[in-house]
Each structure stands twice: as C-alpha cells, then as structure tokens.
Structure 1
C-alpha cells in the first residue's frame, strides 16, 4: 500500500496495554455526513492508502485544562431569535456534559468587545478613581443570563475574563477605539494611531490603581451573581489598534500593571482568580519577556494566552518558561464562510497549539446570526448560525470539529508524544482509553492502522473526514 501524509490529532487516555480485544467507539464527520457513528470492520476494498500511527502512553507531556468558546452579547441576542425549545437545544449542544460539546472552560469580556451590541464599560464616569459608579447592570441583560444557562448544564464550568478596552477615560484619546474609522466609530482622525508598543492607557499611578480596582470589583460583582471568575487575562491583543474596543500597551507597562497594582489589589481584596498574561497576538517572544521579566511578574501569573499571530510565539515561550500554563485563547475567526475549509484551518491550528504546549483551546463566537457581522463591520465565523429571517439553525463544520475533540477529551488528560509529525496524544491513567481524532485530508478513503501500546486497531476513513476513535483497552 502507498504511504501518504494524514493530518492526525490523537488523544490518549491510557497507558496499560492488555491482551483482550479492545472496545472501540467511532464517530465520523464529512461535509455531507455529520457525526455518524461507525463500527470497526475490515477495509471494504484493497489497494487503499495506509497510515500507521504508533502510540506509547508513557511519553507524557502537558496536562489539558479544557475547551470552550466566548460568551458574547451578540451570541445571546441570536439565541433570542428562536423558540424556547430550540434555544434550550442549542445550549444543550454546547454545554451538556453527556450529549453536547461538554465545554468546561469559557471566555467572557470585561466590558464591551467587538461582539458587544455596542460600546460600554463598567464605569464611564470620568475620573472616578474610587470606582464608586462601577456597575455590571449592563451584563445582567445578556452575559450573566448566558453564563447562568451554561451553568445549569455544567455547574463546574470555569469562566475567565479579559478586557478589550478599559473605561474610555483611562485612555489618552478618551475613546474606546484606537483607530479611527468613519464607517463604524466617531474617533477623531487626529486621535487615531496604529503604532504598537506605545501605551494608550494613561500610565499614571492613579489610573493604574483605579484599573486594578476595576478588575477586583468586576470579579466580586460576578461572584454576587453566582459566577466565579477563575482567571483574568490583562488585555486582549495589547499590540492591536482596532476600530472597535481596544487598547495598545507598551509591554513593560503591562508588567507594571500586574506586579505593582493588580496582584497587590487582588491580595488586599482576597481575590483568588488567577492572573494571566494574555491575550498575545504577536509572534515575538521579546514582547512576552518584557512583561514576565518585570520584577516578580513571573511568580504572579499563572500562564500566557495566545491567539492569531501569537501562535508564532508559543513554541519559544513554552521552551523558555516550561512551568507556565499556555492557552489558545481565540481561534482564528475567518470571514463568515463557515465552510469546510474553515474547519480544516481550525484543525491545523489545533495541531499547532497542542504540539507547542497549549493546555486549552478556545473557539470564538459559539453562536451568531447568519451574517456573522459585528457592529464594527467584521464578518466572522461561528460554530452555529441562526438565520434572522427564517429562524433556521445551521450547525457549521467547526461545531463538529470542536465536538470531535471536546466531547471526548477531559480536563486532566496529559498530552503524549507520538511518532507522527501531525499527531497530538493525551493520556489518562484512570480511564484506560485512547481517543484518536484523525483527519483524512485526501479525496479518497484510506486505512488508519493504530498501534497503541502494541494493541492494533484498524479503521477505514472516508475521504475528507474527521474521525474520533475511542479505544478502551
């Protein structure tokens, strides 16, 4: 048989080989046939191309923390377009711990992000350094109920938060955007800038102190709503001057925020949320170093989060700071195509991030209307689309790709090394199972031969198919 290159993401949950015939569960998805349960059988025809994958469950690497997406205002608005029964089914399909994607680690914004209904922060009262007017009342309309619905299905779900922009009065230009765009914002061109590594935040002690208090009050306010914020990432994309809510930072100033203000504020207020350096969207490790090597920041942060071009930095960061937790914080969102090609791209991202030390993988918009368009003009992909006119619901290919992984891989699994450049393996001594997520990227069927601790399993994979194969040893 001919040998071909097959993209494989492999998740192993066992190490003890046994002599009995293993039990196998197999789910397959193509663009035309979604989430089909299959049975292992001999190949249906001869001459198929073959791939051999050897798995040794003793070759352990990083531990997995989980999978999820982001709670965004526009997602909640889209959910409001369908019937109560349909809405519940959509929520079940994302969060139910038996039949859904089983999302256990999700993101949310602190104030408005680009998929908010419009701009807001939790305190737009200028120079209110004591945060007397801080309020999450806006979030009680959309984000709080969205998270509450997820909690009903998974009470153990963890939520982490990040700001796209501080209160506008804390920025030099007094505006939520950094880049003027007459089509979508009213920022004056003379106050617009796309320069990186220059803080738009007013880096004066009173502002730093007030911003640290802002984070603390946010966490406490959510705790009052029954939602524990497990971690904060200090700034979404600190190098990106956007026409939507954003704030560019000099990286050393993020170190000052963390070490001199945020961590002390959390300690004073008995806040136990983790602090992360995130979300990093540039490939230069030097920018990460500028933060982590300021004073004692390295001891104060739990991990580093990466998205977009930040994927170019994760390998070097993992090598330099092997003790750090690493997260893929926002899968690349495309242009609203919601097609098979987008799922293939996301699969490539998954392979890259897990290969280079990521402990978790986040989708971006879980649900949007059919346009996928933000209030600031960017049309993006989502796992699920709801047509605003017909109210029809479409589960896009990336929904199934995420489920092929998140429905089977649990927190606590440990990544394993395998003898295939396109493979990722995870291990759980308790379950004694191997889970293989394999993509046949060819236009014809192929045969996948697994060798798991010397236990063989063979499956014939359909052309252009994602396959999750669960092997109980």
Structure 2
C-alpha cells in the first residue's frame, strides 16, 4: 500500500494546503499528458537542508518584539518537522550585516587602536537575541546545521579603518584567522557547533552604506590555505571552509580558490543575485569532491506581484537543488513592516523576510517565502539523497529526494502559462495523474508500507 502525503500551492489564496490524492484536480481532456519519471537508481548529492538567517534585525524582532506565545508559535512553525516546516540550516552573519540595528564586530576598538592579541574579543552582542534563538531552534530540531559568514572584519584590520569598504590588511591575516577561531570557540561554549564558515560574504562587492569588503580570489586562497585552515588544525576545529559566497555570474572566482587552496577548502557557497544556477554544476564538475551550498537569496519588492515572486522561489529552488546544492538558504528570517531594521544610513530597504513582524501592531505574518520553503523542507529531510526526476516537458520543473526512512519526496512546479496534465511515474508504474494549474506548486511524499514500490 502506497502512503501518499500531498501539499499544494495554487495562488495567493491557497498556500501549502495539505490534500489527499482524491482532492487533486482530475486531468483535463483537452490537454496533453506530461510525464514525470522518478528513478531512484540514479543518485546525486546528500542534503543538509533548508533555512534562512537570524540576522541581528531578525533576532531582535522575534526575541524582543514578539510576545512569548507568538515567539513559541513561530519557532515551532519554523523548526518543528511535524508541527511546522522543519528548517535545518541557519547561516549566521559574524557581526553586523546590512540587516542590523547598528554597526558592530566582535572586537571593536577606538579609532587608531588595534588589538592583535584579540584581548577584547567578545560574542556578548549575540547573547542578547541571536544565541537564545539558535539554542531554541536546536532544541526543537537537533539536526540543524549552523553556518557563519562575516560581512566585514573589525574596522581596525582593514585598509579603510572601517567596517565599510576597504580590504583586509596583509599583516592581519593570521589575526583574522584567530578571530574565526575565537568565534567558533565562543559559540561552542553556548552549545552551538559551527558546521561551516565562509571567509567573506559577497567578496566582490564593497557597499558604501553597510559592512562589506573586497577579497579577491588570490587573497582568499592565501587567507584560507596559509592562515585560516592552519589555525583550525592548530585548535582542533573541524568546521568546514566554503569559499566565494557570492553570485553565480563569476564561477572563475571559486575555480581559482579551489585550484590554489586545494584541500584547505571544503566547498563553494553561492548566491542568486547574478548569473544562473548552472554555474554550480560547472564548478562541481571541475571539483566533484567539493561541496555545493546555496547560502543566500532574498525575495523583495523588486519582484512585486505575488505570482512572480512565489514562482521565483520555487523555480530557482528546484534548479539550485538540481545543480548539486546540499542546502537552500534564503536571507532574513524576519523583517518588519518597513523591511527593516537596517544599519544607520542604509536608506530604503526592499528585501522580504520569511515572516513579517509589524513593530506597530505586533502582528506576525508568514510571507510567500515561508510557504515556498515549506514545499522543500517539510518533506525533504536532512540526509536525504537526490534521485533522478525527468519530465517530458521542460516547463514541469521537478526535483526528487529519497529520505533516510525510505520515503520519496518530489517537488513539482508548473512553470508554463497553461494548466497541465501530469502523470507521475515510479519504477515503470503510473502512481498518480492530476491537473496542475499554471504557476502552481505541488510537493508529494510517498512511502510504501509494504515496500512494493519503494525499497
């Protein structure tokens, strides 16, 4: 007997609704049947999971603005695999990002002063809101993996003397490596293990109004190979090091770092603000023993209508996973009614959070990103292995995984402008036929309790 669990989104009024197979729309006689074939004999990457970031802004909104009951409900909906959507990857800024209430690092010093021994290093800022939420998330879902990325080193380590602009001074490479060690050790004292770090968020972009830093591929290779990795080994730290952490449009950057830094690098982190997800495969095929991670993609007002925005998260998420990524991580976990808070001087923010916390009304709203992520995270669980899924139509996008319990999860998205008839096939057997409306998403988890189909 085949046990099937189904979730469907069909427009703004019907988001991630659980259905029975009998409740799916029957196929239409005036449309050709499109076949999706699942082949579990072809396997690809193992999954770490899906998630977002507790930025300083997000953590403040959830931990201080929401009341205890709202916060408890939200954390359950985010991280509980049964009651909620079971997010399992959190990518944390190391210090201030653009979405922070103030500029801060873990070792701020007065102007013209330095601290090469890091005597003033402290993660105390994170103890107020960020660390309590991370601890609560891990209590709800112990499978969560934590990643960390700095937007900037402390200003005194940089040529600009500020967290804005500049580059890391050569004489501080080893000091900055020790900064990472102190961060990882500090979090460990709070029961928080950092699974992976990247040396620099968006290393080819230096914003003029929030923390950032240029770190060219040759510099990143030097930093990782000769400073960061040796410091990790010296301190018995097995946190992974991912390079790049930027857009798909410059695959030459990670290729250079992987070539130059070699075994010191564990993989590549990608963002979606330029290029195409096929860049992930291009680099993976050149270095197939390195991990692929997608660490940041934000929705926002630059894609204003609901349908285009929801479609973007679904379409792109499927392609990210089909191009070997072990993770799919969006950006802010929460923002307010003005798409903030942001650092002073940032200006108008157009990003969208996974949820909205209205600071005026204290209302909590789940955004389209929450429901789109749910299509992936609810049924595709950590350590699932991607298996082959092919469609007779390029516009019926799909990605399939086999979970550790033997169940198979498939995410489908109809990217055409028309309704489509879909036939889902597994091991040469037609499992189900149904009608999929234009720009609608469907997630299905199948488990055969008698192992007739799924073994």
Q: TM-score, normalised by structure 1?
A: 0.86
Greater CA deviation, 410-419 or 135-144? 410-419
Of 461, 466, 471 in structure 1, the residue corresponding to residue 436 of structure 2 is 461
User: Do 2:38 and 2:427's aligned partners in 1 also have CA atoms closer than 8 Å?
Assistant: yes
Measured at CA, do residues 448 and 177 of structure 1 come closer, stay the same or move farther in structure 2, by a change above 3 Å? Answer: same
User: Do 1:172 and 1:201's aligned partners in 2 also have CA atoms closer than 8 Å?
Assistant: yes
Aligned partner of 1:18 in structure 2 is none
Counterpart Cα distance in 1 of 2:93 and 2:258: 23
Aligned partner of 1:33 in structure 2 is 14
- Do structure 1's residue 226 and structure 2's residue 178 form an aligned pair? no
Counterpart Cα distance in 2 of 1:177 and 1:293: 30
- Aligned residue pair count: 428
Counterpart Cα distance in 1 of 2:420 and 2:409: 19
Aligned partner of 1:323 in structure 2 is 289
Aligned partner of 1:189 in structure 2 is none
Counterpart Cα distance in 2 of 1:273 and 1:347: 30
Of 203, 206, 209 in structure 1, the residue corresponding to residue 170 of structure 2 is 203
Aligned partner of 1:405 in structure 2 is 376
User: Do 2:244 and 2:254's aligned partners in 1 also have CA atoms closer than 8 Å?
Assistant: no
User: 2:146 aligns to what SS in structure 1?
Assistant: strand
User: Do 1:339 and 1:396's aligned partners in 2 also have CA atoms closer than 8 Å?
Assistant: no
Counterpart Cα distance in 1 of 2:168 and 2:173: 9
Counterpart Cα distance in 1 of 2:38 and 2:246: 32
Aligned partner of 1:471 in structure 2 is 446
Counterpart Cα distance in 2 of 1:130 and 1:106: 30
Of 293, 302, 325 in structure 2, the residue corresponding to residue 358 of structure 1 is 325
User: 1:293 aligns to what SS in structure 2?
Assistant: helix
Measured at CA, do residues 129 and 370 of structure 1 come closer, stay the same or move farther in structure 2, by a change above 3 Å? Answer: same
Task: Give structure 2 stretches of 5+ with no counterpart.
Answer: 449-455
Counterpart Cα distance in 1 of 2:228 and 2:265: 11
User: 2:308 aligns to what SS in structure 1?
Assistant: helix
| Higher RCO, Cα 8 Å, sep 6+ | 1
Q: TM-score, normalised by structure 2?
A: 0.89
User: 1:415 aligns to what SS in structure 2?
Assistant: strand
Of 95, 99, 104 in structure 2, the residue corresponding to residue 120 of structure 1 is 104
- Do structure 1's residue 349 and structure 2's residue 332 form an aligned pair? no
CA deviation after TM superposition for structure 1 residue 44, in Å: 6.8
Task: Give structure 1 stretches of 5+ with no counterpart.
Answer: 1-20, 179-198
- Do structure 1's residue 141 and structure 2's residue 147 form an aligned pair? no
User: 1:423 aligns to what SS in structure 2?
Assistant: strand
Task: Write out aligned runs for 1:277-296 (5 A).
Answer: 277-281=243-247, 283-294=249-260
What's the C-alpha RMSD, in Å, of the aligned pairs? Answer: 2.0
CA deviation after TM superposition for structure 1 residue 432, in Å: 3.1
Q: Can you list the C-alpha shifts for 1:161-217, whole angstroms capped at 9, x where unaligned?
A: 010000001111111112xxxxxxxxxxxxxxxxxxxx711122xx01110110000
